[in-house]
Amino acid sequence: MDVQFVHNTHYMFSAGKDRLLKYWDADKFELLLTLEGHHAAVWCLAVSNRGDFVVTGSHDRSIRRWDRTEEPFFIEEEKEKRLEEIFEAYMDDTFEDRHVPKEELPEEGAVALAGKRTLETLTATDSIIDALEVAEVELKRIVEHEEEQARGKVAEFQPNLIMLGLSPSGYVHRALSNISTNDLEQTLLLIEHYAWDLL
């Protein structure tokens, strides 16, 4: 609901209904920092003449003073943090069954799978699928090598370096054993149908 520039700079602060105080680089139109603290919309803000502190007033009837510290912040880390928050919020919205027909809702007190799709389970699912695909390609190479040996073409088999000297099943087992037991069930539920054929 308010925007104020830091005196004699191209930096500015903005405040709004999202309850956040945001610090911007106006030359690059880039969000540098997001500060949380209010519990309702931020109605006004004032920046000191030297830009060393900002005062905000909110609909939650609080006045906050935000002091500049000597602690450095890195724009890339802040961007990454915001992207992770957006991704987590998206995952929560995407995978919640909000629009299930009434007939498909479980009875009250019924037992169901407890779990939540998280970044960790999605990453683990990707690693399992990657391991399955690498193992499938390696199995095909082994079969082709055995066929060449049967025809009399004896060539030394060169194993896949990605598999770290493991057999295809050992490589998949290694990928499965790297997943925490808490995430294993939810991870296996996320595996796509074509990957089950490989498994």
Architecture of the structural domain at 2-80: Beta Barrel (2.40)
Question: What residues contact 163, with CB distance under 8 A and at least 6 apart?
Answer: 134, 135, 138, 171
The values of phi and psi at residue 62, to 5°, are -120, 150
Domain positions in the chain: 2-80, 119-198
pLDDT tens-digit profile of 44-88? 999 999 889 999 999 999 999 999 888 887 888 888 888 888 777
Question: Tens of pLDDT along 140-163?
Answer: 998 888 888 888 877 788 888 888
Q: Looking at the DSSP assignment, which residues form a beta bridge with residue 34?
A: 22
**More confident site: 107 or 21:** 21
**Whether pLDDT at 21 is above 80:** yes
